[in-house]
Amino acid sequence: MVIVSVAPNGGRLQKEDHAALPLSVAELVVCARACRDAGASLMHFHVRNDEGRHSLDAGLYREALKDLEAEQGLLYQISSEGLGHYAPCEQARCVFESGCRFASVAWREMNAGEQDRAAARRFYEEARERSVHLQHILYAPCDAVGLWRMVEDGVIDGEGLCVLFVYGEYGRGIDGMPPLDEFLDACLRPFGEVPLWFLCGFGIGEGEYVLRGARRGGHVRVGFENNVLRGDGGEAEDNAERVAEVVAGLRECGQEVVGVRETRALLGVQQPE
């Protein structure tokens, strides 16, 4: 069973990069509806300020979540990534003040220095107390090592651990990256128990990478945050087309693509009352 997550906008691209990039709340709602119909069950999204720039404004996230959750079709995961503009304390504040149920957290951003590590411990503890489901973003095997050490130390709950492996980097794609299987082996090796893991990748190979990850037991994330191209190299019409292409590939491989109810079960998250 495979969860398909869509990351429709990220914090970097603009309309000049692709006209169908959803930036406003209204555009995110339309995108969510189309991606749900294409087979996604989880949306990872960023909000933008009035200038269209990456923002960790909790109020903007509350507004977006109110309209998105009214759709009743997907689970919605906010991004707490700083992208070089926000400190860990601001990232933590956004997660808790937004009222979100799901959030992604870049491990290396939250644990950048000794002082940040102490604050990170408090953040992880509070997230656990508030029942905020965290997906830990890992860019390299060293991030996986650091995360697992915090699990062993009891700082991060190992039960229901959820991670996202990022294959490549903004600006250079997968240039300089090891082969995918080697990358995944190195990222998974530190964990005493294999976590629930997702994979995303950059560029034209995105679909191939996530399908290979799914065959290894992972879940997938696709979308314009990392790639606007179809597998044949042409520009995708919208995020729903990226989802549909990957869903078709999963089904051709005999993989079952799950809906929201099954996604909640796999993530270990109860249905809200």
The total of other beta-carbon atoms located within 10 Å of residue 175's CB is 10
The average pLDDT across 63-90 equals: 91
Select from 3.30.1360.120, 3.10.450.50, 3.90.226.10, 3.20.20.70 the CATH code of 4-266: 3.20.20.70
Residue 40 φ/ψ region, left for φ over 0, alpha for ψ in the -120 to 50 degree band, beta for the rest: beta
Q: Give one DSSP letter per residue of 116-154, joined into a string.
A: HHHHHHHHHHHHHHHT-EEEEEESSHHHHHHHHHHHHTT
The average pLDDT across 158-170 equals: 92
What local confidence, expressed as pLDDT, does residue 49 receive?
92
Which residue's structure tokens are 């079952």? 256
Partners of 44 in beta bridges: 77
Residue 202 token pair: 């950059």
Please state the pTM of the whole predicted model.
0.95
Residue 247 token pair: 């869903």
What local confidence, expressed as pLDDT, does residue 24 receive?
95
What are the boundaries of each domain within the chain? 4-266
What local confidence, expressed as pLDDT, does residue 115 receive?
60
What local confidence, expressed as pLDDT, does residue 271 receive?
67
Residue 147 φ/ψ region, left for φ over 0, alpha for ψ in the -120 to 50 degree band, beta for the rest: alpha
With a pLDDT cut of 70, the percent of the chain lying above it is 97
H-helix or E-strand spanning residue 106 = strand 102-106
Is pLDDT above 70 for 259?
yes
pLDDT category at 169 given cuts 50, 70, 90 is confident
The chain-wide mean pLDDT, for the chain, equals 93
What local confidence, expressed as pLDDT, does residue 157 receive?
87
Give CA separation, 181 vs 148, 167, 207, 262, in Å. 20, 11, 15, 27
pLDDT in tens, 102-127: 999 999 999 876 666 778 889 999 99
What local confidence, expressed as pLDDT, does residue 151 receive?
93
pLDDT category at 272 given cuts 50, 70, 90 is low
Residue 148 token pair: 């697992």
- CB burial of 228-263 (b: ≥16 within 10 Å; e: otherwise) equals bbbbeeeebebbbbbbbbbbebbeeeebebbebeeb
pLDDT category at 174 given cuts 50, 70, 90 is confident
Is pLDDT above 60 for 273?
no
- Single-letter residue type at 46: H
